[in-house]
């Protein structure tokens, strides 16, 4: 069995790159995508909805999978430049760097993502897609004296699993 084991601090690390998408099919990233820094954890969610019904000739319910609700959720330590962007007044037409994660959420900017799951030299395993940044909720406390925030990318459409 071959485990995917991206040990922290090694070259085999998980990376998440984001860029502004032109439409729901645009998974191509430009020359300057934003690599999300300081990831603490990341979860890829592919949850199929299920339609359930009962029949008079059965003692058990019947079910069939329908559409999937896809999302990527993560927690990160807030980095000022990547979180707030390089231009606090950036509009939806601004670059990913200008808007930052918070700006993309506020502006409802469609983004594309490439999540590197496993580094394998010339054939890294990646998950790609398009979605919206939601669930931004930075917090700080006496026990955690740096700003941390959960962030969710609500995926519109399908995941694409590929090698890069």
List, for residues 99-151, the tens digit of each pLDDT value.
999 999 999 999 999 998 876 667 788 999 999 999 999 999 999 899 999 99
Residue that has been written with the tokens 């917090």 in this structure: 139
Show me where the domains of the chain are located.
Answer: 15-163
Q: How many CA atoms lie within 13 A of 100 on its CB side?
A: 18
The mean pLDDT of 5-16, rounded to a whole number, is 70
Beta bridge partners of 154: 71, 132
2 pLDDT above the threshold of 90: no
Q: According to the model, what pLDDT value does residue 66 have?
A: 92
Fold for 15-163, please state it. Pnp Oxidase; Chain A (2.30.110)
Tokens of 63: 């079910």
What's this model's pTM, rounded to 2 decimal places? 0.84
What is the average pLDDT score of the chain? Answer: 89
Burial class (CB in 10 A: 0-12, 13-18, 19+), 69: exposed
84 pLDDT above the threshold of 90: yes
Q: Strands, E, within the chain: which ranges?
A: 15-20, 34-35, 39-53, 62-77, 110-118, 125-134, 148-155, 160-163
Q: Which residues contact 105 (CB under 8 A, 6 or more apart)?
A: 132, 133, 134, 136, 151
Q: According to the model, what pLDDT value does residue 90 have?
A: 77
pLDDT tier, 6 (very low <50, low <70, confident <90, very high otherwise) = low
pLDDT tier, 58 (very low <50, low <70, confident <90, very high otherwise) = very high
């Amino acid at each position: 069995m071959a485990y995917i084991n991206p040990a922290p601090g090694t070259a085999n690390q998980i990376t998440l790159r984001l860029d502004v998408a032109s439409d729901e099919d645009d998974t191509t990233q430009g020359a300057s995508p934003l690599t999300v820094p300081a990831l603490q954890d990341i979860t890829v969610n592919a949850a199929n909805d299920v339609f359930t019904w009962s029949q008079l000739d059965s003692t058990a319910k019947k079910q069939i999978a329908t559409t999937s609700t896809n999302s990527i959720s993560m927690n990160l330590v807030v980095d000022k430049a990547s979180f707030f962007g390089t231009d606090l007044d950036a509009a939806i037409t601004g670059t990913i760097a200008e808007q930052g994660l918070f700006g993309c959420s506020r502006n409802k900017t469609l983004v594309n993502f490439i999540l590197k799951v496993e580094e394998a030299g010339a054939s890294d395993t990646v998950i790609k897609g398009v979605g919206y940044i939601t669930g931004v909720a930075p917090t700080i406390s006496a026990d955690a004296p740096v700003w941390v925030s959960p962030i969710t990318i609500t995926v519109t459409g399908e995941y694409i699993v590929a090698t890069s």
